[in-house]
Chains A and B, each alone.
Chain A
Amino acid sequence: MFEGLLAALTPSLLLYLCIGVLAGILVGALPGFTATMGAALMLPFTFTLEPAEGFAMLAALYVATMFADSVPACLVNTPGTPSAVATALDGFAMTKQGRGQAALIASCFSALIGTFVGGITFLLLANPLTDVALTFGPPEFFWIGIFAITVIGSVAGNSLLKGIAGGALGMLIGAVGISSTGAVPRYTFGIPELLGGISIVAALIGIFAIPQVIDMVRNRHADPHVADFTKRKGTARETIWGLARRPVNVLRSSVLGTAIGILPGAGSPIASLVSYNEAKRWSKDKASFGRGNIDGVVASEAAGNAAAGGSIIPLVSLGIPGSAPAAVILGALLLQGLKPGPELFSSDATLVYTFAWSIILAGVVTFVAGMLLSGSLARMVLIPVRLLAPCILFLSVIGAYAIRNSMMDVYLMLGLGVAVYFLAQLGFHPGPIGLGVILAPIIEPALVESLSIAQSSSAVEVFFGRPLCIALIVLTIVSMVWVGVTRYKDARDARSAARMEPPEVPVPQADQTTSESVGSR
């Protein structure tokens, strides 16, 4: 293990690590560019490097992307990658309150802790945790997806009903294309380009970025900038000290993120959403989530980064990638002539541990880079809306196109964005719609595979008879009851507060719903 640390500290490896971090920050900060895409683009450069250097560069890119996706999420409400959807909920609200730099610093610090927990778990517990992950089958994944759906209760805004409908609409968007079960075209309306389905990244850009840009344009007379920003000395120290004094949230989110990251196919988006939900559940100030609670940013970012480390564990121990970027790293391993699996620990133990230490060091380098850049990045909100809005539209088009080089993805991105803008005027929050798009490809195949398994036994046994399924069902029920109780209490408190307040002079409210409903909550 310590040989691995010494190998990770060599100057050449550190150089490649820094290159990976810089590339990762660039990839993550551009909406539409995912860690998978960045890793795939960097893969050819690793051929000529030593295996340890190549893996360090890829690991650094993965870790840095998971942090940098929070930059557009916090500043302009546009998640850089699907993992940053939960970050945008509170990060952008913080920016609107003039706390954009604090949001970025919180994200940076949480990413560091998350990466540490994921990396240390990789170092110490890779083998036993992989055995547990292998017991997860389609029914367990189905229940994980259902458990993640309960996050709607946290991100639905004022109306849970509209949140549920939004989640269903998101899942229907995710159903477009050839079905994974019977290869039947669904909701393609005779358009051949839709047979391949809707790109999740393009859909998320449309759902989150376009309504926000339209909203900015609409309100630019009152708000010529996205938000105010005043550079204040000590913001970094205060934010980090504030988070370090109450470490439970960041540690819980990191552990959850690592655990979910180990499960093949779950990945950072699910980890971030589940951790966000748990952070809200355990918080004493639940009502402030979605309105600029720093714990929301912390939970999402810590879990997203921890999941990156976690997803490498089954890759190295079994050759099963825990996420899409991990699959690209698997490709790099194979191209270097290495066979991932238990024997890798005995044949190339130093390499495995160097890889683990590289992840941890990448977290440190990302933290330093993030801290240095946070002040400058936060100033982005001072760019006038008349210049910023066309630039976000431009980046959204590039992001939607680049993922599959398809103009259809661009049309869908814009179409979905405009549709969600109008739905937001009717009180539908974009969060559940985005959540549905992310969860559809996880829940449906798991459901269909589980039903296939049930044909040889019984549905009750498959869905309700396995210990892990029972645990997940209990968690789901607890989460649903909690959502119901919390919303009932909030509504009761709001009613009693309204009774206590003196009557106000009525003010026309014709168009206020939009600006509040489009991602500002």
Chain B
Amino acid sequence: MSTHTEARGPRVSIDLLAAVSLFLIAAVLLSQTGDGVRDWAMPRSLCYLVIGVGVVLLVKGLVRPGEKVPLIPPVVRHKGLDTAFFITAAVAYVLAIPIFGFWLSSAVTLFGLSVALAEKRDVRAVLTSGVTAVVVCAGAYLLMLHVFYVPLPWGSLFE
């Protein structure tokens, strides 16, 4: 499994980007870290460990850059747009659940995503997507509500 999207734009060492990411994460977490020794000793030590690894990666990235990746992530260009679309759809799906309820949101997402991801959007693709969405939702409904008794949200619109 591999993709061969043409690389465009400036490229940067993967270790440098990794180091910057670690610094950002550690900075956010350290800003939220308290003073108590017993409660914060371990999180604080872990933050310092993350910073330490970040420093080593930074030096490594500057001295011996090794593998380089595009500075502009592939996710926002060319075929990476598929990824961005899927992530956006997934976020929209989970945000819609409290409003439209789990079952309606799931049915629409299952149908919409499988149609959108189809190579050819013909009648067959639409039909298989529709049948899959209905069967999966109906099966999950029976299992969740009548076997496992999991009360999935009905949504503020329907309550």
> A182-B36, A387-B132 given. 4 additional CB < 8 A pairs?
A172-B50, A218-B79, A448-B41, A520-B1
Instruction: Tell me whether A510 and B7 are in contact in the complex, defined as CB-CB below 8 angstroms, given that A162-B53, A189-B32, A407-B153 are known contacts.
Output: yes
Question: Scoring B residues 82 to 110 as 1 if CB is less than 8 Å from chain A, else 0, what string do you get?
Answer: 11001100110110011000100010011
18 A-B residue pairs with Cβ-Cβ distance under 8 Å, sorted by A, are A96-B1, A165-B18, A165-B50, A172-B46, A172-B47, A172-B50, A182-B39, A217-B82, A218-B82, A219-B2, A220-B117, A398-B140, A401-B152, A425-B73, A426-B14, A448-B41, A510-B74, A512-B4
Instruction: Tell me whether A184 and B132 are in contact in the complex, defined as CB-CB below 8 angstroms, given that A165-B49, A393-B90, A405-B150 are known contacts.
Output: no
Q: Is B1 within 8 A of A397, CB to CB?
A: no
Q: Is B94 within 8 A of A410, CB to CB?
A: yes
Q: How far is the CA of A402 from the CA of B125 in the complex (A)?
A: 31
Task: List chain A residues, Cβ under 8 A from B46.
Answer: 168, 171-172, 175
Q: How far is the CA of A186 from the CA of B35 in the complex (A)?
A: 11
Which positions in B face A, CB cutoff 8 Å? 1-7, 14-15, 17-18, 21-22, 25, 29, 32, 34, 36, 38-43, 46-47, 49-50, 53-54, 56-57, 60, 67, 69-70, 73-75, 79-80, 82-83, 86-87, 90-91, 93-94, 97-98, 102, 106, 109-110, 113-114, 117-119, 125, 128-129, 132, 136, 140, 143-144, 148-153
Q: How far is the CA of A414 from the CA of B148 in the complex (A)?
A: 23
Question: Is the contact region of chain B dominated by helix, strand, or loop, or is it mixed?
Answer: helix
Q: In chain A, what residue has the closest Cβ to B21? A: A426
Give the contacting residue for B6; candidates A389, A411, A423, A508; CB below 8 A.
Answer: A508
Give the contacting residue for A414; candidates B40, B91, B129; CB below 8 A.
Answer: B91
Q: How far is the CA of A402 from the CA of B145 in the complex (A)?
A: 11
Q: How far is the CA of A405 from the CA of B149 in the complex (A)?
A: 11
Q: Is B149 within 8 A of A390, CB to CB?
A: no
Instruction: Tell me whether A402 and B109 are in contact in the complex, defined as CB-CB below 8 angstroms, given that A221-B79, A423-B21, A513-B67 are known contacts.
Output: no
Which positions in A face B, CB cutoff 8 Å? 26, 33, 37, 41, 96, 161-162, 164-165, 168-169, 171-172, 175, 179, 181-182, 184, 186-187, 189, 210, 213-215, 217-224, 385-387, 389-391, 393-394, 397-398, 401-402, 405, 407, 410-411, 414, 418, 422-423, 425-428, 443-444, 447-448, 451, 507-516, 520
CB distance from A426 to the nearest CB of B (A): 4
Q: How far is the CA of A386 from the CA of B57 in the complex (A)?
A: 37
Q: Is B90 within 8 A of A387, CB to CB?
A: no
Q: In chain B, what residue has the closest Cβ to A513? A: B69
Task: List chain A residues, Cβ under 8 A from B74.
Answer: 510-511, 514
Q: How far is the CA of A356 from the CA of B117 in the complex (A)?
A: 50
Q: Is A515 within 8 A of B1, CB to CB?
A: yes
Instruction: Tell me whether A451 and B83 are in contact in the complex, defined as CB-CB below 8 angstroms, given that A398-B152, A510-B5 are known contacts.
Output: no
CB distance from A278 to the nearest CB of B (A): 25
Q: In chain B, what residue has the closest Cβ to A443? A: B42
Task: List chain B residues, Cβ under 8 A from A515.
Answer: 1-3
The 10 tightest CB contacts between A and B, nearest first, are A510-B7, A386-B117, A390-B113, A165-B53, A426-B18, A184-B39, A179-B39, A182-B39, A168-B46, A511-B5
Instruction: Tell me whether A397 and B106 are in contact in the complex, defined as CB-CB below 8 angstroms, given that A405-B150, A411-B94, A513-B69 are known contacts.
Output: yes
Q: Is A511 within 8 A of B4, CB to CB?
A: yes
Task: List chain B residues, Cβ under 8 A from A414.
Answer: 90-91, 94
